[in-house]
Amino acid sequence: MTKQIVFIIILVLTIVVFAYSFLRILRFFKLTKGKFKIDHLGKRIGITLNVAFFQSKIFRKPIIGFLHALVFWGFCVILFGSIEMVIDGISGSERSLSSLGVIYDIFMASGDIFALLIAIAILVFLFRRVFMKIKRFQGAELKKKSKQDANLALSIIFLLMVSLLGMNSAYLALVSDQYVGIYPISTFLAPLISANDPTTLHIIHETNWWVHIGLVFLFANILPYSKHFHVFMSIPNVFLSRLEPLGKIRTMESIKKEVELMMDPNAAFAAPAENEEETIERFGVMDAEDTDWKNYLDSLTCTQCGRCTSVCPANQTGKKLSPRKVFVDLRARMKEKGPELLKNKDYNDQKSLLRDYIAEEELWACTTCNACAKECPLNINHPSLIVDMRRYLVLEESAAPAELNAVFTNIENNGAPWQFSPEDRILWTQDLYMNEKPTK
């Protein structure tokens, strides 16, 4: 009974603290722009199955991607066991879901195998992070905290797996005289537990049980403050993926209105005057609150794996642009400005995402090749945000590099990025000769 009460108190505490952290982040979405609409449900479910559950994009790096997929699939299976542990903890029962029979056995058996596989994968990940100098784990945007975050999360996951195997092994040793299901790994570990008397075995089992569930609760509450928030955000983010083709840049409706007025004089008279109360919005993105809600969701989802940056042509050739940094910066800026902005919508700290976080030099280095977006295992779309920030620079400040301003002028004046007369567009066709058609 005491165990139940203690467990319920810890559980409630976990949920309350988590809900607090989660809602604190969620309220920032109020500040973001864009309509939230879930359409094309079938397509979204397809993408979620493919990209999230089958981990299709992570396999673009086949070996390390496979290890990640194992961890993900393992988590899905082991989650079943964690749910059981919560039920057991509340009700004081033991292995309460075992009445599910074969299904239960399958979950437990695969969970037991996955625990070992995940533990091995995590050791590989830790080794890569601590001992190998892997380029995509470096970068100006990766502060000491990001690296500590990663190592802490990996260590917790490792301990979760060790305690799971410890729990299963002690359980098997405890009930060695009866059939309790198949535990392919723990079967080999159980005999290694030297204790024989049921009391000691029981203590070992209980300790592992508490360590495991305690770590689950602790982990859940660290996540909202870490880049590993990814664990919660990635599936929703994939489900809410941008569905437009990769190469489509979204049309700015605000500009469309203006252009239509400019090009159609009749529309100018027809324009209703009562719209004047409309708040004058800023063109493009200068600060966190100008971004689309999906940009911000992307930033919460990013776990800073750096696949985007590792394939970026600008980054590979030593330029300052790092697509990962753009989203790390957005999340940090929202965390800084968001709380103040919620209190006072005119809050101004004389800083902005543009320039104080992301330099113009970074934005202008992008070739819009979309390698980053193609690579991101969670369908984060970097070019859309980069172009939106360029839009602010061009439309609000006319602050494009001089050569690009010349391109704009040329297109306006003579319909080509170069300074050639439209009359000359046909020059290439003059005096053009070919060998006479051979008889077909």
Q: What gap in Å lies between CA 324 and CA 307, rounded to an integer?
A: 8
Among 314, 328, 353, 376, binds other proteins (CB under 8 A): 314
Q: Which residue in the block uniquely carries the two structure tokens 């602010």?
A: 392
Tell me which amino acid residue 408 is: F
Tell me the closest approach of the beta carbon of residue 260 to other proteins, in angstroms: 8
Segment near other proteins (CB under 8 A), from 97-105, 145-153, 314-322, 334-342?
Answer: 314-322
The smaller minimum CB distance to other proteins, of residues 38 and 432, is found at: 432
Segment near other proteins (CB under 8 A), from 68-76, 213-221, 239-247, 327-335?
Answer: 239-247
Segment near other proteins (CB under 8 A), from 82-90, 189-197, 269-277, 401-409?
Answer: 401-409
Q: Considering only residues 241 through 270, tell me which ones interact with other proteins, judged by CB under 8 A.
A: 244-249, 251-252, 255-256, 258-259, 262-263
Q: Are 114 and 77 in contact (CB under 8 A)?
A: yes
Decide: helix, strand or coil at residue 303: coil
Q: Considering only residues 408 through 427, tell me which ones interact with other proteins, judged by CB under 8 A.
A: 408, 411-412, 415-418, 420, 422-427
Structure tokens of 218? 């602790």
> How close are the terminal C-alpha atoms of the chain, in Å?
94
Query: CA–CA distance from 297 to each of 241, 267, 289 (Å)?
Result: 10, 37, 13
Among 71, 365, 378, 385, binds other proteins (CB under 8 A): 365
Q: Considering only residues 16 through 75, tell me which ones interact with other proteins, judged by CB under 8 A.
A: 60
Tell me the closest approach of the beta carbon of residue 31 to other proteins, in angstroms: 23
CB neighbours of 319 closer than 8 A, spacing ≥ 6?
361, 362, 365
Our finding on whether 374 is near other proteins (CB under 8 A) is yes
The smaller minimum CB distance to other proteins, of residues 304 and 310, is found at: 310
Tell me the closest approach of the beta carbon of residue 57 to other proteins, in angstroms: 10
The smaller minimum CB distance to other proteins, of residues 185 and 311, is found at: 311
Instruction: Annotate 379-417 with b (16+ C-beta within 10 A) or e (fewer).
Output: bbbbbbbbbbbbbbbbbeeeebeeeeeebeeeeeebeee
Our finding on whether 86 is near other proteins (CB under 8 A) is no
Q: Are 302 and 380 in contact (CB under 8 A)?
A: yes
The smaller minimum CB distance to other proteins, of residues 88 and 292, is found at: 292
